Chains A and B, each alone.
Chain A
């Protein structure tokens, strides 16, 4: 089964392989270098954001910044808040989107296309301009300064993409698969979760990751909704390390590296789903 996934690759000639590796290595360097730079800043004492030397590990390297962020700043509190917001956003977001997308993919009804477009419309207004009315609105529901008050707008922000993405993916799944399920007497809903959902793992993984990352790194909305330090999420906490003129760049970069760490773990575990053996090809073949 697994082998079929790779069958195409067997024809790659050594020259082509060399070329492929060259491209991948070049892009990997481009992708990673700026991050290495941030890492380097996190090791520098005296808050130097820039350096005139290209050395990655400075001569006077110190882990002080990491110690300071982890133990002297409420980093773990920010981490907890961010985890809550991001998890709630992705669970609710993917949950709502996966069913709505199913309706758009498998049913034809009045306002089908208008509905799809309407979901996009929600994204077209510049977000900074939404802040004032959103703040007033959330205040009316008593949701300012609550994590839920942040998660709800996040869900609204992620839904359009998630729905479109999942709908597109569902469209590629052959209908015969559900039809054979419905001959067995299954309702449309059970066909949905017995046939469609398992086949859509890569797309679910991507929308889940997308929703999570939105909650994880969003700053502009969070800044307005949350004004209590004990509710701050990681991006707010991070900016909190910036002063008017003097920023603790070491701490700032160390915090940035620490923010990236959980996401890297997530990427590693999610990438299994992105290339999972449960592909459509395998089901059909």
Chain B
């Protein structure tokens, strides 16, 4: 028993000794950035930081990675508690809620106009909300595109009917066990971000100019019927597919086509899939192109950055990381798949000579910027449950569209209480 006590005390003592050593972390003055980027992009980022710090020995950049949801909630918590990072790099649709809450600050008077002039105007405008500029994008794109496996399908389909016909041929049982093991088309079936592409193709959109939901429309019903038929009538998509399943099937060469965004393309090439990119084909009945939402990632400055010296350092870092040089580095590494927001870099030969990027630019032309109004959150959450039920064959498209609208209106009302 004594031995046990001695051991216990020794452990306590040891822990006690370790505590002060480990707990005494000192904090130099530094610019902290929180991001939620993908690993290849972060590798380039870290390289850029090193370069910046060599040139500016007085400033230290620290990057902390979070998951997308974690970044959002942690940033709120931290800023409300008067702490947190100086900069965040996040999807630009956070700007709506963040600026409404007042936890980021407007940049109009902080960043010189000459610098802003270098940016693609519509990209920069996307970061304006209620007349003020809240973020500076380091990339544009993020739009879904049709990706096909050239081994299975030599040329991209021109119309949606053609796509379905080809996909039907390619959806088959290759090893004779009585089960389908190759699909014509895969994508994240239940995710609203994918669904709205088709909603656009049938002539709809998620909200009107006053940020009110426009979900109970003919276009929504048709689009729901369309995605429902892909699974139940045409049978060209798997019975259940979330992002990971779709991604795996395509990476394993078991899907001829996938609808996915720029972040994924490099990984497909790494997995030795010979990919081609094309616009998601026109919907025959409407003659319209499906409309992927385009987006960007933007740097925003925390409202807690007030001290002059800190503010100057923060802006210097911000301008370096969104500037021409940094964007050229991203492009060179093909680390993000997105397109530069800087006009000069976007016009460079590097973009023009790359078939993947060229196709990406082409698809982006058919896209439409994702709304950044806070109401969008309610709309996403209103679409998801009904879409899930339609894809489970448990709700009719008409009911689903009505339900989506009702829920969205309700959630927006709650949000504004």
Residues of A at the B interface (CB closer than 8 Å) are 46-52, 80-81, 84, 87-88, 91-92, 95, 131-132, 135-136, 139, 144-148, 193-194, 197-198, 223-224, 227-231, 239-248
Contacts and interface: CB of A to CB of B under 8 A. Distances in A.
B38 A244 contact: yes
B203 to A, nearest CB: 28
A100 to B, nearest CB: 16
Contacts of A81: 22
A148 B19 contact: yes
Nearest to A199: B1
B415 interface: no
Given A50-B245, A239-B70, A88 B15 contact: yes
Number of chain B interface residues as a range = 35 or more
Contacts of A87: 11, 15
19 contacts: A48-B251, A50-B244, A84-B15, A87-B15, A131-B77, A136-B81, A144-B83, A223-B66, A227-B74, A229-B63, A229-B65, A243-B37, A243-B39, A243-B41, A245-B38, A246-B38, A246-B40, A247-B39, A248-B39
Given A131-B77, A245-B261, A230 B36 contact: no
A144 B83 CA distance: 10
B144 to A, nearest CB: 11
B267 A47 contact: yes
B74 A46 contact: no
A246 B62 contact: no
B270 interface: yes
Contacts of A84: 15, 18-19, 22
Nearest to A83: B18
Main DSSP-derived SS at the B contact region? helix
Contacts of B36: 243-244
B389 interface: no
B263 interface: yes
B108 interface: no
A227 B15 CA distance: 23
A230 B81 CA distance: 22
A218 to B, nearest CB: 14
B180 to A, nearest CB: 11
Given A84-B22, A88-B19, A49 B244 contact: yes
A242 B333 CA distance: 20
B12 interface: yes
Given A224-B77, A227-B78, A228-B25, A46 B267 contact: yes
Interface string B35-48: 01111111000000
A84 B4 CA distance: 21
A243 B251 contact: no
A49 B246 CA distance: 11
Given A227-B34, A244-B38, A244-B67, 8 more contacts: A50-B245, A52-B254, A80-B22, A88-B19, A95-B12, A198-B4, A229-B62, A246-B263
